[in-house]
Every structure is written in structure tokens, then in C-alpha cells.
């Protein structure tokens, strides 16, 4: 049983009749009609034989058997058929979905939940958890995009503390946090929590080396005192570090003489709560809007042309069907066939026939044929008063049935799409964090989570297929009843009017079957179109997201070629948010400052206080709620994005290297010579 539902599947207690005709699904249709929509909690549990865990185990065993039997060309299809039997033909192919973004609770990796309280303090996450919208269950997004670098470092360290291992390998976990937080992490986490464990710490912060039992420096190693006596390199390094710390202390003493600025004056407060809830995926409800159909048609051609093509295709299909029926009827006309034989076999003796014989031939050719075709044309008309009653009843019941199951089918399709899309994110996160998962031996937990979300998708897909089969059976019942009524009416007409031949009866029944088949096809296709349009609905939802401004502006608004020539930056009452929602919290609020040309400015703040967001405003990343930013007397809001981002350089917090050579990463647009690139490499000591 999955974690998302406690609804027992009524199929387990259904009788043979209910299982054959899918009557057990009627309760779900009633619930959908009563509440107007379906949610994931309304879905029934999977049948035991459809649970992904059991299917995976069976498929794995059958796959190994397949490799043994066919080592040269193993077939996954044969292994799947041995696993599922013929059930895939009955319930459709099972889609493979996944889970969405990880939440903070996944840092536990199946450790004891009670240990979370013991870990929050040492990693300094108490204030973070208190300000998160949903506490420890807040979604952090793929690769932790909703967290800052320092917050991700603390989450990673907390996950390591959860393991309670004997040996810890810490690869510079303090580099992404500030001095205050790094001191707290070292004192409370590394010294206190890991005081009795073997801990290898790689770090460039030499102020913590005095607490190490053994220090390894490139080609030398020893204790703190031994390295002071034997290694001049280590002694000079400590001297430089000590001098830097003294300078920092002196600068801190002068802090009171520095004029307070309203730039990010949140001090110890954090802006974590202002993160937009972009990870919460909403499900559409109700019928498909007409604008979805219009947008779908406009995506290919203009709307009038699309409607004209649909009408022409419909008439062409109907004309072709009627012509083929007429041609077959004409070809199989016994009387016409005998008449043609008689005509072709006529020899010169026809000229010797008497006048009566000529009159008989003329009467056969003109009168009898004209009477027959007239009779065929009027046959349906004088039968309509009798066949109209079952036709209207059948059409009304089919339309009522269509309205009943189309709503449920549409909601189930939406749920299927909703549970299918998150797994791609889950698989991506799993592949990217495969080393971490294996090092923490969390394969079983990740696999169980995958199976849980896989079961959610299978439940929605299975119920969607079952609802469609339920409707198909009912449509066939209605068609059967309609044909039965038409047959009885035809027999009654045959008894009452002897001129109604067997061929006429066959023609009437044939067109009645075509009528019911066409009506069923139209209803099923209308529901299928409405169901499949949910995919278009989701695409339009993404297309309706607010886009960035134009990358290029008119030539008259382009900045000078040498802009920015000085680099004077003015922030005029700037307020910035990560979301376009007017009610979303502000990351930066009412910032006013001036940075003169050539100045070196340091942005100080705790982890998550908005330092990165402050830099992003220069690149017009995010939403500028209020104010303006002026660089060399030009408002960057009036400049195209290409000009702004090409003429300003940034070193991101998380460097990104693209596929290719080192030179292509250094100069992706091939604008600089090899000499200039070598000079830049020498300046960064590479």
C-alpha cells in the first residue's frame, strides 16, 4: 500500500460479473461526479500483482533467465511477457514515472527521526528551519537550487553527522560559509560531535589546524608543534594567517565608526522564507478551456484554415464512405446484372421482335429501375417514424454516458501526467548524487521512494484505462439494444408491408450499424481529444510563464559601444524579488547606494541574506519591484539583456564548465588571442 492513499481497491472483493464488465469502477465515477474533481488520495490502491516492487523483482529474475537462454540476443519484451503474462494487453503498457524534488527530510537517509533535533544545533540550522515555509519538509528543488551555497554545505554536513560512522572524510565543508558560521560548525560539529571519531578534514582555513592530531601538508606531515619546528613553509603560512586575522580584528574594532547603510540591514535575519514556492505543482480542474483548443490549432496554421481543413477532411471521409457503399450496391445489384447479360446477349433477333416485346424491354429499363431507386431513396424516410424513437433514446443515453465518464477520464489523465513528470527530476537527482547515495548506502531508500511514486503513476494509468474500458462496454450495450430495436421494427414493417424485401432489411440494418458505430466513434474521439488536450494544457501552462524582457532593443536605444567606460553604479531605492507575484516577499528592499568608478566593494552578510541576489540585480535576473539601477548614466532597464550581460563580467558562486576544451571555456566566443588567454591564466596562477 502506498503512502498517498488508504483506499482499498474494490476489485479485490468484486464478483466475476463486476470484474468482467468493470462495474467496480462505478464508485470512482460517482465520487468524481459528486465532488467535481479527483485527487491523488481518491485513487484506489494497486492490485498486489501490479506493485512495482514485485514487478521489479520478477522482471529482474526473468531478465537473468533471458540472458542465460539467449546470451547473444536477449529480449526485454520476452522477459516482460514472462513477468506480466497477457496483462499488458488488457491494462496497457505501464508508464515509468518518478518523484519530484528532494525535501530537507531526505538528508536523514533513513536515519532515526529523533536524531534530527540533535543535529540541528551543531550545524547551525535552527534559525533556517524556523524561517523555512514548511520547516524540514520544505522542497529544496533539483540540486538544492532553493538554498544558498552555505545552506547546502550545512545540509550536507548534517547528513554526514546522521550516519554516526567511525571514520569521516570531510572535503572542505567550511569553504562555503562565513567566518562566524565556520567557527560554529567546527566547534559544535567537528570538535564536539566528531570528537571521538576518526576525521579527515581538508581545508584552507589554517586557524583550525592547531586542533588537529596530525597535519598533512603536501609532501610533509606531523603534529602542529613538529611542523612549526621543522617546516619553514608551514611557519610562514601561519604567520601570514595570523597577520590577516589581526588586521581583520582591527577592522572590526573600527566598525562603530563606519556609517550604517541600509544595504541588506537584516543582520541575523535570513530571506529563506522569501523563496518562491516553484516546486509545488498544481493540477487543473474542470473541463478543458476553449482557448486550449484555439491555441493548439493556431500553433500549426491560422484558426480559419484549421477549421476549414477539419470540415473538408470530414466531408471527404463521408463522401468516400458513401461512394464505396453505393458502388458495391450497384455492383451487386442482381437485377441490373441480369439486365446487362440480357442486353449483351441480344443478337440481331431483337429486330425481329414484335412491338409488345419492345414495350416490355422499355418498361423494364425505364419503369422498373426508376421505381427501384425511388423506393430505396424513400425507404429510410418512411422508416424514420419508427426508428426515430430508439435512435433518439440511444443517442441521449450515449451523450449522458459520455458526460459521466469523460470528466473522470480527464481528471485521471491529469493525475497520470502529474505523477509522471516528477520522476524525471528524481532520476536526474539520483544520477547526479549517485556517489553520495552509494557512500551512505541509501540505495534501498531511493529505490523504495522510486517504487512509491511509480505505484502512484500506475494507479492513475490503470484506473484511466479501466474507466475507458467501462465506457466502451456500456457503449456496446447501447448499440446492441439499438440494433435489437431496429430489427424488431423492421420485422414488424416486413409483416405489415410485403413489399419490404430482404435486401431492404439488410440495407436498413447495415446503415443502422454504421450509424451506431459512427456515433460511438465520435463520442469516444471527443473524449479522447479532451483527455489528450490535458497535455496541451500543461504545455500552455509553461508557455504562459512570464518571460525575460527582449534581448535586443531598437538601435536608437542601444548604449554606446564603449559602455560602461567608467563603471559608476547607482542603486536608487531598489527592491527585488525572486517571484513576479505581487505578494511575494522582497529579497532586497529599498537599497540606495552609489559605487564610484574604481571602487572595491565588499558585500557582507550571513548565509542566505541576499548577497548573491544583490549581484543578480546587475544582470537583470529576478524581478525589480521598485527603483532603478544606473550604470554610467544609463538605466539598465532601458538596455537589452544581451548588452547588459555581455558587457559585465561575473564569477558565479558555483562555477560551471561546459563540454569542450579548456580554451573554449575560457573564450567561448573566440574573441581573444592566445597571448591574452595565457596572460589571464598566469594572473590566476594556472
Least confident of 16-20, 50-54, 267-271: 267-271
- Same-domain check for residues 562 and 523: no
In the chain, % of residues over pLDDT 90 = 0
Highest mean pLDDT out of 130-139, 257-266, 277-286, 554-563: 554-563
Cβ(406)–Cβ(464) below 8 Å: no
Please check the confidence at residue 442 and state whether its pLDDT lies above 80. no
pLDDT in tens, 635-650: 888 888 888 888 888 8
Cβ(527)–Cβ(424) below 8 Å: no
pLDDT in the model for residue 98: 29
Give the confidence band of 423 by pLDDT, cuts at 50, 70, 90.
Answer: confident
pLDDT in tens, 452-467: 778 788 778 888 888 8
Least confident of 290-299, 451-460, 616-625, 633-642: 290-299
Q: Which residues pair with 476 in a beta bridge?
A: none
Q: Which of 98, 140, 106, 118 is nearest to 451 (CA)?
A: 98
pLDDT in tens, 102-111: 344 444 444 4
445, burial (CB in 10 Å: exposed 0-12, middle 13-18, buried 19+): middle
Q: Which residue has the higher pLDDT, 27 or 397?
A: 397
Please check the confidence at residue 86 and state whether its pLDDT lies above 60. no
Give the confidence band of 661 by pLDDT, cuts at 50, 70, 90.
Answer: confident
- Same-domain check for residues 348 and 430: yes
Please check the confidence at residue 673 and state whether its pLDDT lies above 80. yes
> Is 140 part of any domain?
no
For the record, the C-alpha cell of 63 comes out as 531478465
- Same-domain check for residues 492 and 567: no
What is the mean pLDDT of the segment spanning 588-613? Answer: 81
Please check the confidence at residue 348 and state whether its pLDDT lies above 70. no
- Same-domain check for residues 517 and 654: no
Q: What is the pTM of this model?
A: 0.48
Least confident of 106-110, 448-452, 473-477, 571-575: 106-110
Burial 223-249 (b: 16+ CB within 10 A, else e): eeeebeeebeebeeebeeeeeeeeeee
Please check the confidence at residue 201 and state whether its pLDDT lies above 60. yes
- Same-domain check for residues 537 and 620: no
What is the mean pLDDT of the segment spanning 424-433? Answer: 79
- Same-domain check for residues 538 and 405: yes
Highest mean pLDDT out of 192-196, 382-386, 388-392, 662-666: 662-666
Domain containing residue 410:
290-543
Task: Return the CATH number at 616.
Answer: 3.40.50.300
> Is 90 part of any domain?
no
Least confident of 106-120, 239-253, 307-321: 106-120
Cβ(177)–Cβ(154) below 8 Å: yes
For the record, the C-alpha cell of 408 comes out as 473522470
From start to end of 208-303, where are the E strands?
Answer: 215-217, 220-222
- Same-domain check for residues 593 and 516: no
What is the mean pLDDT of the segment spanning 253-272? Answer: 41
Query: What string of DSSP letters covers 499-512?
Result: T--HHHHHHHHHHH
- Same-domain check for residues 309 and 353: yes
In the chain, % of residues over pLDDT 70 = 52
- Same-domain check for residues 394 and 295: yes
Q: Mean pLDDT over all residues of the chain?
A: 67
What is the mean pLDDT of the segment spanning 54-61? Answer: 60
What is the mean pLDDT of the segment spanning 237-251? Answer: 54
| Distance (Å, whole) CA 640 – CA 592 | 23
User: Domain boundary at 499, 515, 543, which?
Assistant: 543
What is the mean pLDDT of the segment spanning 289-308? Answer: 71
- Same-domain check for residues 587 and 636: yes
- Same-domain check for residues 317 and 398: yes
Task: Return the CATH number at 408.
Answer: 1.20.1560
| Distance (Å, whole) CA 398 – CA 575 | 58
- Residues in contact with 162: Cβ distance below 8 Å, sequence separation at least 6, in sequence order: 107, 108, 109, 111, 115, 119
For the record, the C-alpha cell of 451 comes out as 517504487
pLDDT in tens, 510-524: 767 776 777 777 777
Give the confidence band of 566 by pLDDT, cuts at 50, 70, 90.
Answer: confident
pLDDT in the model for residue 80: 54
| Distance (Å, whole) CA 231 – CA 210 | 15
Number of domains in the chain: 2
User: Domain boundary at 494, 521, 543, which?
Assistant: 543
pLDDT in the model for residue 88: 42
- Same-domain check for residues 494 and 561: no
> Is 519 part of any domain?
yes
pLDDT in tens, 132-190: 555 555 666 666 666 667 777 777 777 777 666 777 788 777 777 777 777 877 777 77
pLDDT in the model for residue 32: 58
What is the mean pLDDT of the segment spanning 72-89? Answer: 51
> Is 411 part of any domain?
yes
Cβ(499)–Cβ(540) below 8 Å: no
Amino acid at each position: 500500500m502506498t503512502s498517498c492513499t488508504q483506499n482499498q481497491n474494490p476489485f479485490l472483493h468484486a464478483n466475476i460479473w463486476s470484474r468482467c464488465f468493470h462495474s467496480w469502477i462505478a464508485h470512482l465515477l460517482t465520487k468524481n461526479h459528486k465532488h467535481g474533481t479527483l485527487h491523488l488520495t481518491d485513487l484506489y490502491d494497486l492490485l498486489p500483482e501490479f506493485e512495482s516492487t514485485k514487478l521489479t523483482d520478477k522482471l529482474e529474475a526473468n531478465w537473468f533467465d533471458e540472458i542465460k537462454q539467449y546470451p547473444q540476443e536477449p529480449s526485454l519484451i520476452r522477459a516482460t511477457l514472462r513477468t506480466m503474462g497477457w496483462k499488458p494487453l488488457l491494462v496497457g503498457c505501464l508508464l515509468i514515472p518518478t518523484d519530484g524534488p528532494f525535501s530537507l527530510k531526505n538528508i536523514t537517509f533513513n536515519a532515526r527521526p529523533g536524531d534530527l533535533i540533535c543535529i540541528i544545533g551543531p550545524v547551525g540550522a535552527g534559525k533556517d528551519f524556523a524561517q523555512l515555509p514548511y520547516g524540514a519538509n520544505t522542497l529544496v528543488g533539483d540540486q538544492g537550487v532553493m538554498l544558498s551555497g552555505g545552506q547546502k554545505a550545512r545540509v550536507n554536513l548534517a547528513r554526514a553527522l546522521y550516519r554516526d560512522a567511525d571514520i569521516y572524510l570531510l572535503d572542505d565543508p567550511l569553504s562555503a560559509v562565513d567566518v562566524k558560521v565556520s567557527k560554529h560548525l567546527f566547534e559544535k560539529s567537528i570538535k564536539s560531535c566528531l570528537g571521538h571519531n576518526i576525521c579527515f578534514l581538508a581545508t584552507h582555513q589554517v586557524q583550525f589546524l592547531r586542533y588537529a592530531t596530525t597535519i598533512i601538508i603536501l609532501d610533509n606531515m606531523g603534529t602542529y608543534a613538529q611542523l612549526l619546528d621543522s617546516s619553514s613553509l608551514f611557519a610562514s603560512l601561519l604567520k601570514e594567517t595570523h597577520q590577516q586575522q589581526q588586521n581583520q580584528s582591527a577592522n572590526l574594532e573600527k566598525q562603530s565608526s563606519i556609517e550604517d547603510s541600509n544595504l541588506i540591514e537584516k543582520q541575523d535575519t535570513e530571506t529563506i522564507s522569501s523563496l518562491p514556492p516553484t516546486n509545488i505543482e498544481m493540477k487543473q480542474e474542470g473541463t478543458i478551456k476553449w482557448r486550449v483548443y484555439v491555441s493548439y490549432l493556431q500553433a500549426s496554421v491560422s484558426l480559419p484554415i484549421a477549421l476549414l481543413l477539419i470540415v473538408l477532411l470530414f466531408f471527404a471521409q463521408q463522401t468516400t464512405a458513401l461512394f464505396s457503399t453505393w458502388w458495391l450496391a450497384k455492383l451487386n445489384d442482381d437485377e441490373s446484372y441480369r439486365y446487362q447479360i440480357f442486353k449483351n446477349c441480344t443478337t440481331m433477333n431483337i429486330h425481329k421482335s414484335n412491338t409488345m416485346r419492345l414495350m416490355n424491354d422499355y418498361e423494364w429499363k425505364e419503369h422498373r429501375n426508376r421505381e427501384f431507386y425511388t423506393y430505396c431513396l424513400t425507404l429510410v424516410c418512411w422508416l424514420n417514424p419508427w426508428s426515430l424513437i430508439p435512435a433518439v433514446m440511444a443517442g441521449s443515453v450515449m451523450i449522458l454516458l459520455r458526460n459521466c465518464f469523460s470528466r473522470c477520464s480527464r481528471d485521471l489523465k491529469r493525475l497520470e501526467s502529474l505523477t509522471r513528470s516528477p520522476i524525471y527530476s528524481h532520476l536526474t537527482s539520483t544520477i547526479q548524487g549517485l556517489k553520495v547515495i552509494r557512500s551512505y548506502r541509501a540505495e534501498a531508500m531511493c529505490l523504495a521512494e522510486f517504487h512509491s511514486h511509480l505505484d502512484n503513476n500506475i494507479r492513475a494509468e490503470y484506473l484511466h484505462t479501466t474507466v475507458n474500458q467501462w465506457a466502451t462496454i456500456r457503449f456496446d450495450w447501447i448499440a446492441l439494444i439499438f440494433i435489437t430495436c431496429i430489427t424488431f421494427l423492421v420485422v414488424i414493417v416486413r409483416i405489415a408491408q410485403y413489399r419490404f424485401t430482404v435486401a431492404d432489411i439488410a440495407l436498413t440494418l447495415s446503415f443502422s450499424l454504421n450509424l451506431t458505430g459512427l456515433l460511438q466513434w465520435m463520442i469516444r474521439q471527443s473524449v479522447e481529444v479532451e483527455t489528450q488536450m490535458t497535455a496541451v494544457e500543461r504545455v500552455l501552462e509553461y508557455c504562459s510563464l512570464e518571460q525575460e524582457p527582449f534581448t535586443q532593443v531598437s538601435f536608437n536605444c542601444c548604449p554606446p559601444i564603449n559602455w560602461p567606460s567608467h563603471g559608476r553604479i547607482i542603486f536608487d531605492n531598489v527592491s527585488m524579488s525572486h517571484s513576479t507575484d505581487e505578494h511575494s516577499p522582497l529579497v532586497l528592499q529599498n537599497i540606495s547606494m552609489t559605487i564610484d568608478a574604481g571602487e572595491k566593494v565588499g558585500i557582507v552578510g550571513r548565509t542566505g541574506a541576499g548577497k548573491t541576489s544583490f549581484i543578480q540585480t546587475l544582470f537583470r535576473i529576478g524581478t525589480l519591484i521598485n527603483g532603478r539601477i544606473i550604470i554610467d548614466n544609463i538605466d539598465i532597464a532601458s538596455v537589452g539583456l544581451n548588452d547588459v550581460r555581455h558587457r559585465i563580467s561575473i564569477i558565479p558562486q558555483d562555477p560551471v564548465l561546459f563540454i569542450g576544451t579548456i580554451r573554449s571555456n575560457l573564450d567561448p566566443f573566440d574573441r581573444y588571442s592566445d597571448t591574452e588567454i595565457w596572460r589571464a591564466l598566469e594572473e590566476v596562477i594556472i
